[in-house]
Amino acid sequence: MPWTIFAAISIVSMSVANLFQKIAMKEKKSDAITSALIFQFLCVAFTGAFALVKGFRVPALAILFPYTLVSSLCWAFGTVCFFMAIKRIEASEMILLTGFGAIVTIVVSSIFLQERLTPVQGIGAASILAGVSIVAFKNKFSVNQGTALALLGTSLFGIGITVDAFVLRSYDAISYTPIVFLVPGLLLLCFYPRKAIAAVGQLTHLFRLPLI
């Protein structure tokens, strides 16, 4: 299947996810870190099941360390920033701002992976900057807290994607996907252990599971 099809599926999926995440964060009591934990481990469950069906391949430690640790830190705190941002700004603004991560990916990959910027990528980057400018114009060129968090989160995602691209040069993408969700989730648990109970409670409420 052409990579463009995978890219299109990814864009649509992220757009739909943004809408549901905005709905989830509408409540005043909703917490960004708890939501990030739930998001990470739900993704582990779904992608892990898919990887097991397709044939999960255990990676060598040399492949994952220290690259996956760097990537996971970016994904973990990028996700927290993302949930904090989407609580403060509209979903449509969030979708435009998340494109900024692609520019970060292009810049970082050109420096560390020696990837060359193509004319098509240049046009795409210009389009993304135009979208960010529209949001800035709407906000009268003042960067509010939500916008700053969105740009920080998507920048961390851009760095994470670059590191993951390096890892995937020698590892299977399907097997790597649940790992790249699991490790950030575990890191968040290490930094915020008290949020684990709240995350379990929300998951129980979500799926109406009886507590034992």
pLDDT (tens digit, 0 to 9) for every residue of the chain, 212 residues total?
565 676 667 667 766 666 666 666 676 777 888 888 888 988 999 999 999 999 998 888 777 788 889 999 999 999 999 888 888 887 777 777 777 888 888 888 888 888 777 777 777 777 777 776 776 666 655 567 888 898 899 999 999 999 999 999 889 999 999 999 999 999 999 999 888 887 777 666 665 544 44
Residue with tokens 């905005």: 22
Residue 95: the pLDDT is 74
Residue 136: the pLDDT is 64
Residue 119: the pLDDT is 77
Residue 206: the pLDDT is 60
Residue 62: the pLDDT is 77
CA dist list (Å): 200 to 9, 22, 46, 92, 181: 30, 20, 17, 30, 17
